[in-house]
């Protein structure tokens, strides 16, 4: 779906999420959301916060799982995704703290494998993700599933692509400060979501959106695996769709 601008598109996506939360609430169910970081979803979170404050949207029945976190990374670090999510969403809504799950960037290395399989198991225990929000990196990554990621991959640690580290460098005040690793939900984990919405804004994303939507399905561009998912929508602004 192509929108005139990203702000309007973000509002439409936020309203879809709010509808799902209310629907689940009305049937006494939890709403299991997979959430993303980066600049793309910021306006969606802003609208959800507005709906909480002005329209009485409650997040008491919402359980969230974030896609990824740098590794190693402390929660307090302002570059952490933990910090980002609290700053943009969790600090401003009524979600119970125990319902928030973000990969822990300080898990000791020897516990990482077990930690990651527990993360997947917890998602499954809640009946899977009802809705997964995604951005896309210029390498074609979703979460931090860099080129080479298997279509059936699980939550795990991953080495970041050079392009990804270049793109993150400004936020870290130089590429040398960008972590080399991350923890990410796997492609298999993401693909199990009942509904997926991928956001992409701006000309910077036009090339990778073309490859993702029109290219052959391949581990070289992990986002192409979404072509096989039965309920995925790419929400684009005009600039991101300009190569299609």
Catalytically active residues are 146
Report the distance separating Cα 106 and Cα 110, nearest Å.
Answer: 11
One character per residue 73-112, x = contact with ligand GLP (rule: CB under 6 A): ----------------------------------------
DSSP-derived 3-state class of residue 129: coil
Asked whether position 68 contacts ligand GLP by CB under 6 A, the answer is yes
When asked if residue 39 is in the footprint of ligand GLP (CB under 6 A), the reply is: yes
Q: Choose between 57 and 65: whose C-beta lies nearer to ligand GLP.
A: 65
Q: Please, what is the minimum distance in Å from the beta carbon of residue 94 to ligand GLP?
A: 25
> Is 173 strand, coil or helix?
coil
Binding flag, residue 222, ligand GLP (CB under 6 A) = no
119: three-class secondary structure by DSSP: helix
CB-CB neighbours of 144 under 10 Å:
27
Q: Which of 57, 92, 43, 81 is nearest to 179 (CA)?
A: 81
**Residue 36 binds to ligand GLP (criterion: CB under 6 A):** yes
Choices 52-60, 108-116, 132-140, 229-237 (CB under 6 A): range interacting with ligand GLP = 132-140
136 binds ligand GLP (CB under 6 A): yes
Please state, in angstroms and rounded to a whole number, the distance separating the CA atoms of residues 217 and 150. 12
Written as one string, the DSSP assignment of 10-38 is HHHHHHHHHHHHHHHHHTT--EEEEE--S
Examine residue 153 and tell whether it contacts ligand GLP (CB under 6 A).
Answer: no
Nearest of 121, 158, 119, 149 to residue 220 by alpha carbon: 149
| Residue 65 is a binding residue for ligand GLP (CB under 6 A) | no
The answer to whether residue 140 forms part of the interface with ligand GLP (CB under 6 A) is no
- Interface with ligand GLP (CB under 6 A): 36-40, 67-68, 135-137, 143-144, 164
């Amino acid at each position: 779906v192509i929108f005139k601008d990203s702000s309007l598109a973000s509002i439409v996506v936020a309203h879809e999420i709010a509808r799902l939360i209310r629907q689940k609430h009305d049937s006494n169910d939890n709403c299991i959301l997979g959430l993303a970081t980066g600049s793309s979803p910021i306006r969606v979170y802003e609208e959800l916060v507005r709906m909480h404050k002005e329209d009485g949207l409650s997040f008491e029945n919402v359980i969230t799982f974030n896609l990824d976190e740098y590794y190693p990374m402390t929660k307090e670090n302002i570059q952490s995704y933990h910090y980002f999510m609290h700053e943009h969403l969790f600090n401003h809504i009524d979600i119970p703290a125990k319902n928030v799950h973000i990969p822990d960037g300080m898990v000791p290395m020897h516990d990482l494998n077990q930690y990651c399989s527990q993360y997947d198991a917890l998602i499954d225990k809640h009946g899977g993700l009802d809705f997964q929000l995604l951005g896309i990196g210029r390498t074609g990554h979703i979460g931090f599933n860099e080129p080479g990621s298997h279509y059936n991959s699980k939550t795990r640690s991953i080495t970041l692509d050079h392009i990804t580290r270049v793109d993150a460098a400004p936020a870290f005040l130089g590429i040398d400060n960008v972590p080399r690793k991350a923890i990410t939900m796997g492609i298999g984990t993401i693909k199990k979501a009942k509904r997926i919405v991928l956001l992409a804004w701006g000309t910077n994303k036009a090339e990778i959106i073309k490859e993702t939507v029109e290219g052959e399905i391949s581990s070289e561009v992990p986002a192409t695996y979404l072509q096989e998912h039965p309920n995925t929508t790419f929400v684009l602004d005009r600039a991101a769709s300009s190569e299609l």
